[in-house]
Chain A
Amino acid sequence: MVVRVRIRNAETGSTVDMELELENTVEEIIEGVAAYWEKDPGAYVIRKGRRLLRGQQKVQELDISSNEELELIPDPEGGNR
């Protein structure tokens, strides 16, 4: 079974549709869209509504509806130097 979701790029507003297997993890989604958008190496998180998703969560645990939108957000790590 596959679930079709839309991922929004928080930095550009652009979107991409993905077909995910229930066994896919959030980390795999991050790596897939980061590669698709040729993102700079860096830390990213994905949110679903008001919730940040854990990296090792599987799609089957996420309670995702078909065509639901998730968002890829860069996770800032600077602040000292």
Chain B
Amino acid sequence: MDRLDRTRRIGWVDLDRIQEARVLIVGAGALGNEAVKDLVLFGFRHLDVLDMDNVVRSNLNRCVLFRENDQSSGRGKSEIVAERAREMSPEAEVVPLNGMVQSFGPEELGRYDIVLGCLDNVAARLHTNANTYHAGVPYIDGGTDGFRGKVQVVVPPLTPCLQCAMNRSHFKVMERRFSCTGEDTVFYQPKMAAEITTTSIIAAIQVREAVKLLSGKDTIEHVTYYDGMLGTSETFQLEQDPGCPNHTGVVLSEH
């Protein structure tokens, strides 16, 4: 029996394109674990997973692919995620990349059909957003905080980008993370509230949007916010920000 038999019964899903697509998952933590699990189970076969960290014990409340002894193994998150994903789907080629997304420019990001942002800070999001936009690669960003989450789908040049949705409050958050004393730059990473139920919902929405995009279906326009306490989700439209540097000289059409 074909393991994807039930997926094939969803008539509009373009499984051939999904199996050929090259996907980069930026971040192999909470959202990255869930996204990779969903991607390989859905039938994606070409995944690169990028992260710079190792597993710590506090990851284990929300990372489905990590195990108790991973924290002492000294192995990177991306390596472990890739190994466990291949166990789940031996046909999948899942490549671990150890590093920061800031070392990826438009040329590197332009090799992918879709990039999934599973990040935890504004600076990395802005870098990924700008460089995927300039490479013309769709970017699906997820974010969580406790029982809240959001997903934004950016399809260049049709949609507004992540930076179009940001305001001074985002940049203040980023400034706090990179406080400069004049002699040193200190990177401050606060510990944020995080749990598995919201993580799994947000990552699932990211993967579902990737499936829709590759299958020629309309995606969400443009940002979906999820509130786990109320059990609601709402999708809001955005406008291109005329001051956004990512759209200079780019004529947007309606999406």
- Asked if B165 and A78 sit within 8 Å, CB to CB, the answer is no
The complex places the Cα of A47 from the Cα of B192 at a distance, in Å, of 24
- Kindly state the interface size class of chain B when it binds its partner: 35 or more
- Measured CB to CB, the nearest residue on chain B to A30 is B169
Q: Name the prevailing secondary structure of the B interface residues.
A: mixed
8 Å CB interface, B19-62 against A: 27-32, 51, 53, 59
Known: A43-B169, A77-B170. 11 other contacts (CB 8 A): A30-B167, A31-B169, A34-B169, A41-B172, A43-B122, A43-B167, A43-B170, A45-B167, A74-B145, A77-B122, A79-B202
Taking the closest CB of chain A, its distance from the CB of B210, in whole angstroms, is 16
- Asked if B237 and A79 sit within 8 Å, CB to CB, the answer is no
- Asked if A76 and B145 sit within 8 Å, CB to CB, the answer is yes
The verdict on B157 contacting chain A, using a C-beta distance below 8 Å, is no
* Number of A-B contacts defined by CB within 8 Å: 119
- Asked if A75 and B150 sit within 8 Å, CB to CB, the answer is yes
The complex places the Cα of A44 from the Cα of B225 at a distance, in Å, of 12
Please count how many residues in chain A sit with their CB below 8 Å of the partner chain's CB atoms: 27
The complex places the Cα of A34 from the Cα of B168 at a distance, in Å, of 12
Interface locus among B67-75, B88-96, B129-137, B238-246: B238-246
- Measured CB to CB, the nearest residue on chain B to A26 is B167
Taking the closest CB of chain B, its distance from the CB of A44, in whole angstroms, is 5
Q: Which residues of A contact B4 (CB under 8 A)?
A: none
The complex places the Cα of A77 from the Cα of B171 at a distance, in Å, of 12
Q: Which residues of A contact B166 (CB under 8 A)?
A: 43, 55
Q: Which residues of A contact B143 (CB under 8 A)?
A: 75-79
